[in-house]
Amino acid sequence: MESITNHSNVPVILDAGVGGASDVSQAMELGCDGVLVASAINRAQYPELMAKSLALALEAGYLTRISGRIPKRDQALASSPTEGMIAQ
């Protein structure tokens, strides 16, 4: 998805595979301009709650994308000092 959004000259709208908030957030983080969520809402046990969660996820994903997220790593790297803190 990120490859598509990085090279597209038109808005990219995700139209399949959305079942919950994490899907929407990830799509926005990867550069989508929007996400169609009708089935996720219509088929949810509690549609109103699902709609609210999807709206919040859309905003969170978009804000993450434009905020300059730190690069992902394959392995964790401690940001706090560990010397003298861990019993050996």
What pLDDT score does 75 carry? 87
Angle between helices 21-29 and 47-67 (to 10 degrees): 20
Is residue 33 classed exposed, middle or buried when 0-12, 13-18 and 19+ CB atoms within 10 A define those classes? middle
Phi, psi dihedrals of residue 74, rounded to the nearest 5°:
-75, -25
What pLDDT score does 18 carry? 93
Domain coordinates in residue numbering, the chain: 2-67
What pLDDT score does 88 carry? 54
Interval 3-61: pLDDT, tens: 787 778 888 899 888 999 999 999 999 999 999 999 999 999 999 999 999 999 999 99
Q: How far apart are CA 12 and CA 27, in angstroms?
A: 10
Tokens of 32: 């989508």
What pLDDT score does 56 carry? 98
Q: How far apart are CA 69 and CA 48, in angstroms?
A: 30
Looking at the DSSP bridge assignments, the partners of residue 13 are: 34
What pLDDT score does 66 carry? 95
